[in-house]
Amino acid sequence: MATNRTFTMLKPDAIENGHMGKIIDMIINAGFSIKAMKYTQLSEAQAKEFYAVHAERPFYGELVEYMTSGPIVAAILEKENAVADFRALIGATDPAEAADGTIRKAYAESKGRNAVHGSDSDENAAIEGVFHFAANEIF
Ligand code: IDP
Ligand code: MG
């Protein structure tokens, strides 16, 4: 399994607020190359499955509703140390705690509506990439 790839989504708030281009620019400027990308909208079933690990958390219903509320950009990104470097680029879950220069500091609205997803491990990056992309959509 590749250790140099991660998976991201630009979440509905980022698209709604007109930040898609600026966020993609930050990602490319940070040295990531795009291996797959699509503009799409999650169904309720897809959002529930994607975030199944959070099913018992009090914010799960709100999270599924938010993630299905509008289009997203899903992408597979490549860079040495991709998972950790991308988590550093996006910053803490809560933008109030995110470091200066991070995507969430610049563009997230709140802990829930936080602009961008980044995989938390190589294993999950691979699972999440395959969840969103067919083999002939990954380069
Ligand atoms: P992460 O996206 O930084 O990995 P996780 O803890 O894995 O954060 O949570 C997944 C997503 O669930 C977050 O990005 C955010 O959209 C949402 N979320 C997390 N904690 C809260 C919360 O306390 N209230 C509302 N939404 C939350
Ligand atoms: Mg997470």
pLDDT at 34: 98
Distance, CA 63 to ligand 1 centroid (Å)?
8
Each residue's pLDDT expressed in tens, for the chain with a length of 139 residues: 457 999 999 999 999 999 999 999 999 999 999 999 999 999 999 999 999 999 999 999 999 999 999 999 999 999 999 999 999 999 999 999 999 999 999 999 999 999 999 999 999 999 999 999 999 999 9
Residue 69's domain spans which residues? 5-137
Q: How many structural domains does the chain have?
A: 1
CATH number for the domain including 131? 3.30.70.141
CA 37 – ligand 1 centroid, Å: 22
How many residues does this entry show for the chain?
A: 139
The helix or strand, by DSSP H or E, that contains position 83, with its residue range, turns out to be helix 82-90
Cβ pair 43, 5 in contact under 8 A? no
In angstroms, the CA 66 to CA 78 distance is 27
Q: Is 19 a catalytic residue?
A: no
Strands (E), the chain: 5-10, 33-40, 72-78, 116-118
User: Residue 11 CA: which ligand 1 atom is closest?
Assistant: 16
